[in-house]
Amino acid sequence: MENIYKPYIAEIKEIVRETSDTTTFKLEFVDEEVKKSFDFKAGQFGEYSVFGVGECTFCIASSPTRKGYIECSFKKVGKVTSVLYDLNVGDKIGFRGPYGNWFPIDDMKGKNLIFVGGGIGLAPLRSLIWNCLDNRDDFKDITIIYGARSINDLVYKNELKEWKERKDINFVVTVDPGGEDKDWKGKVGFVPTVLEEVSPSKKNAVVITCGPPIMIKFVVLSLVKMGFSDEQIVTTLEMRMKCGLGKCGRCNIGNVYVCKDGPVFTYKEIKQFPAEF
């Protein structure tokens, strides 16, 4: 029987410092076979590990349409991420995955997509955004509303520029009041407020949102106010996942294991959960 806890070894090929505490790694699997055959879907996650320190969980932030590598973005917050953050190009880490379900991209075809992201919460959305942009004709209007506490807290800055310039995306970027400087050309305001200002149509639309729990809460309130139905709102949940395999029990909420049955859920599904996340 296969050891489900055995990670692949991946080498760090590129590092992008996103903010003062957030970084992005480009990873390639050392084993050529794995590198060639590894496949995943936007929204899935993995267990990244520093050997001798431990494992930590976050999504795959690159698009499944880009083959041969994966990217991940993480914030330096705990035991493992603090060590991970200080690694260099050429260092090797462990990766188990891909795990969990994914954004229902097939159901999104032919629809208007509205992405609403906050801070590092853009990472899972980015995987899906590029996946959609690489198959642009399959989707109708694409709106991206992204915000962070301040200019310095915005991640993927180069890509934000690229999205801004593209004619086939309606891209809106905002920072919280006080987070701007005098040269700031984007909006100033909290994400839910900006979302209401932009006021995308609910017709034939799907909203995909991810960010800090408090932002998601208010984004959902705004969407409901704007007439979106619970099924139209999709998000990804970050419970404290550990094994990724539906065994260790810590992501259990209601009768689901977030790591197996999620992390992607519609708001309709989330409403069924006990209020404990």
Partner 1 sequence: MIEDLKEKAKELLTSKKVDVVIGYEAGTYKDYASPSFAKTAKDVDRFVWNKNCVNNLAIYITKAKGKVGIIAKGCDVKSIIGIIQENQINREDVVIIGIACDGVEIDGEKADKCNFCDVHTPKIYDILIGDKIESKESSQDKYKEVAEIENKSPEERWKYWKDTLSKCIRCYACRQVCPLCYCDKCFVDTTVPQWIPMSVNEDNNMMFHMIRAYHMASRCIGCGECQRACPMNIPLNILSKKMTKEVEEMFGYTPGVDIEAKPAIQDFNKKEDPDKEFIM
Partner 2 sequence: MADKLISKEDLNTLIDNLAKDIDVFAPVKKGDMYLYSKISSSKDISLNGKNTKKPLKEVFFGQSEELISFKTAKKEIEIIESEEDGKKRVIIGSRPCDAAALPILDEVFGWDYKDSFYLDKRERTTIISITCNEVEESCFCTSFGNISPSSKEGSDLLLTDIGESFYVEVVTDKGDAIIEGNSNLFKKAENISQKDKRQKEAVEKVKRRVELEGLKEKLDINFEDPIWKEISQKCLGCAACTYLCPTCHCFDIQDEMKKSTGKRVRNWDSCAFGHFTQMPGHQPRTEQFQRFRQRVIHKFKYYVDKFNKTACVGCGRCIENCPVNMDITKVIEKIVSS
In the complex, least distance from residue 266 CB atom to partner 2, rounded to whole angstroms: 19
Say what the alpha-carbon torsion angle 29, 34, 36, 40 is, to the nearest 10 degrees. Answer: -90
The count of residues interacting with partner 1 (CB under 8 A) is: 3
Contact pattern from residue 254 through residue 273 relative to partner 2, giving x for each residue in contact according to CB under 8 A and a dash for the rest: xx----x-------------
C-alpha distances out from residue 200 to 129, 153, 222, 275, Å: 17, 25, 11, 29
1 binds, among partner 1, partner 2, none (CB under 5 to 8 A by kind): partner 2
CB 49 within 8 A of CB 244: no
242 binds, among partner 2, partner 1, none (CB under 5 to 8 A by kind): partner 2
Burial class (CB in 10 A: 0-12, 13-18, 19+), 251: buried
CB 116 within 8 A of CB 171: no
188 binds, among partner 1, partner 2, none (CB under 5 to 8 A by kind): none
Q: Which of 69, 82, 164, 196 binds partner 1 (CB under 8 A)?
A: 82
Sign of torsion, CA 45 154 231 214? positive
3 binds, among partner 2, partner 1, none (CB under 5 to 8 A by kind): partner 2
Q: Does 6 bind partner 2 (CB under 8 A)?
A: yes
Taking Cα atoms as reference points, which of 125, 100, 124, 101 lies closest to residue 113? 125
β-pairing verdict for 112-118 and 142-148: parallel
Phi, psi torsion values for 173, nearest 5 degrees: -120, 140
Q: Where are the alpha helices (DSSP H) in 86-190?
A: 105-108, 122-133, 157-165
122 vs 173, beta carbon nearer partner 2: 122
Q: Does 55 bind partner 2 (CB under 8 A)?
A: yes
What is the rounded distance in angstroms from the CA atom of residue 194 to the CA atom of residue 268?
Answer: 23
Ranges within 197-256 binding partner 2 (CB under 8 A): 213, 238-240, 242-243, 245-250, 252-255
136 vs 271, beta carbon nearer partner 2: 271
51 binds, among partner 2, partner 1, none (CB under 5 to 8 A by kind): partner 2
78 vs 213, beta carbon nearer partner 1: 78
- Residues at the site binding partner 2, with contacts judged by CB under 8 A: 1-7, 9, 49-55, 77-78, 90-92, 94, 213, 238-240, 242-243, 245-250, 252-255, 260, 274-277
- Residues at the site binding partner 1, with contacts judged by CB under 8 A: 78-79, 82
